[in-house]
Amino acid sequence: MKSGATHGKGTLVKSALDIGDMPKNGWSEVAFLGRSNAGKSSLINALVGRKIAHTSGTPGRTQRIHFYAMPSWYIVDLPGFGYARVSKMERAQFGQAVDTYLQERQPLVAAILIQDVRRDPEDEERMVVQWALERNLLFLVAASKIDRLNQREKREREERLKSLYPCPVYLVSSRTREGVDAIKQAIGGLGLQF
Ligand SMILES: Nc1nc2c(ncn2[C@@H]2O[C@H](COP(=O)(O)OP(=O)(O)OP(=O)(O)O)[C@@H](O)[C@H]2O)c(=O)[nH]1
Ligand SMILES: [Mg+2]
């Protein structure tokens, strides 16, 4: 077998729930997490500049942990929390898988919490922040869908979210690409190339 075989940029390499099924080549991982429908997959697509992650108006569609190959690192699209449409058992299963991933996954070097700019953080977002503070990670919030706001609303929401989160808050729109390059630069600061 050819060693060091590479995948094209953005190739979905793995969809897994168990840590045992996840990539084993040691590439760094950047996780995208947040409430269902927050815009995780859309932001991933905007960052890569290509439609690699599945997006939909149906909450809970990202039901596994997806690994997309980048140049020597992975973008990790996590199932959204807070979805209502899946069964209790499925929800417990995804919750457990995400939990284990976040607590134990060694190659994880950065996490991006995506949340709709129009909402305030709730319990789930606070839990993610707590978790991130306990692990040694680059952690930032991407406040999404800013194209839905006018300039005044945008300033107000930026100020509010920055006062509520103890970490950098980036305002982004996957639709207009506003703010997308700033997130690219933050990830690039870790030596990870797009
Ligand atoms: N206006 C606007 N809509 C957006 C933006 N980003 C995402 N959306 C819309 O929000 C919905 C959810 O987007 P996804 O990217 O699929 O969200 P997700 O967080 O991956 O959702 P799950 O995979 O279900 O957890 C879709 O209808 C998107 O078109 C944005 O920047 N602006
Ligand atoms: Mg998704």
Domain boundaries, the chain: 12-188
The β-bridge relationship of strands 65-70 and 138-144 is: unpaired
Pocket of ligand 1 (CB under 6 A): 34, 36-42, 55-57, 59-62, 80, 144-145, 147-148, 173-175
Bridge partners for 67 per DSSP: 14, 76
Question: Cβ(14)–Cβ(149) under 8 Å?
Answer: no
**Class level of CATH domain 12-188:** alpha beta
CA of 162 to the centre of ligand 1 (A): 22
- Indicate the residue type of 45: N
- Ligand closest to the CA atom of residue 58: 1
**SS3 track for the chain:** CCCCCCCCCCCEEEEECCHHHCCCCCCEEEEEEEECCCCHHHHHHHHHCCCCCCCCCCCCCCCCEEEEEECCEEEEECCCECCCCCCHHHHHHHHHHHHHHHHHCCCEEEEEEEEECCCCCCHHHHHHHHHHHHCCCEEEEEEECHHHCCHHHHHHHHHHHHHHCCCCEEECCCCCCCCHHHHHHHHHCCCCCC
pLDDT (tens digit per residue) in 84-139: 555 666 666 667 788 889 899 999 999 999 999 999 999 889 988 999 999 989 99
pLDDT (tens digit per residue) in 25-56: 999 999 999 998 999 999 999 999 999 887 76
